[in-house]
Homo-oligomer: A and B are copies of this chain.
Amino acid sequence: MTLIDGKATAAAIKAEIAEEVKQIVEAGGKRPHLAAILVGHDGGSETYVKNKVLACEACGFKSTLLRFEDDITEEFLLEQVDKLNKDADVDGFIVQLPLPKHISEQKVIEAIDYKKDVDGFHPINVGRMSIGLPCYISATPNGIMDLPARYNIETKGKRCVVLGRSNIVGKPMAQLMMQKRTPGDATVTVLHSHSENIKEICREADIIIAALGQPNFVTADMVKKGAVIIDVGTTRVPDATRKTGFRLNGDVKFDEVAPLCSYITPVPGGVGPMTICSLMKNTLSAGKKEFYK
């Protein structure tokens, strides 16, 4: 069994990005600039945004963090989005989700100029990804696609089960894994809350991508010997032994599943670091105007 080290893989990719940025800047080019809007004080969001700022530093990007209290109006937030759309110095930006309930997330997502939409949530980027056109691919699925690439895990013709059909992980994950590309070309089945015979279907899978947000959902009796397991779950579970009072729990019962696998991602340290790394890749692409002029 090989433990997939997302932290080390992400560090390697960030080092490659930093090297490329160095060359761009030395050649007189512009340093890529990522901006982030953070509304309110959600614990998870604070952590993610802090990590994004740190990742920007590691990559040699310029980063800007715009913070607002959670009583701002939707109109005000849309104005800030519009400012970033028009700011020629900002190559890409994100609005950290979730947003306060009185603000429409979809409206905000669609207000972002798709050419700067490094989160890949705008319908144009979602659509282009589905069709297989160059675009910003959302960070978690894109980061996961780097893992088979870096670990030389064959996906072509393999049976891949995606657990979960969320817009930000399950659906794009399925689309990427089934696409005519490498990694990709897998035979994908998507399982969700209405699926039957989940255990049996999982047992046929060469690759399981678990993105349900249900701690310990994938148990040993669902896993074929030699399978590859990617665990996208990051549920905060209360844990009095931790300083923070919680620990991150994956969708996979790691202890019993790991011995069966050829490869498995841990939680934390698996998919998580890849997600942020993927946002950095998108920011580099934005800086280079790789997908859109």
Pair B178/A187 contact, Cβ less than 8 Å: no
Q: How far apart are the CA atoms of A171 and B195 in the complex, in Å?
A: 19
Complex CA–CA separation, A189 to B180 (angstroms): 16
The smallest C-beta distance from A118 to any residue of chain B, in angstroms, reads 16
Partner of A130, one of B127, B132, B157, B189: B127
Q: Tell yes or no: A185 within 8 A of B by CB.
A: yes
Q: Tell yes or no: A126 within 8 A of B by CB.
A: yes
Is A194 a contact partner of B131 (Cβ separation < 8 A)?
A: no
Residues of chain B contacted by A178 (CB below 8 angstroms)? 165, 171, 174, 190, 192
Would you call A167 and B123 a contact (CB within 8 A)? no
The interface residues of chain B lying within 8 Å CB-to-CB of A201 are 187
- Quick check: is A175 within 8 A (CB to CB) of the other chain? yes
Which chain B positions have C-beta within 8 A of A126? 126-128, 130-131
Question: A187 to chain B: which residues have CB within 8 Å?
Answer: 189-192, 194-196, 201
- Given the contacts A175-B171, A178-B190, A128 and B133 also touching, CB distance less than 8 Å: no
Q: Which A residues from 112 to 157 make CB contacts under 8 A with B?
A: 122-128, 130-133, 156-157
18 contacts between A and B (CB under 8 A): A106-B133, A122-B127, A123-B123, A124-B127, A125-B127, A126-B130, A130-B171, A130-B175, A157-B194, A157-B196, A165-B179, A165-B180, A185-B194, A187-B190, A187-B192, A187-B194, A187-B201, A188-B190
Apart from A127-B128, A175-B175, what are 8 other A-B pairs with CB-CB below 8 Å?
A: A123-B128, A130-B130, A165-B178, A171-B175, A178-B192, A187-B189, A187-B192, A187-B196
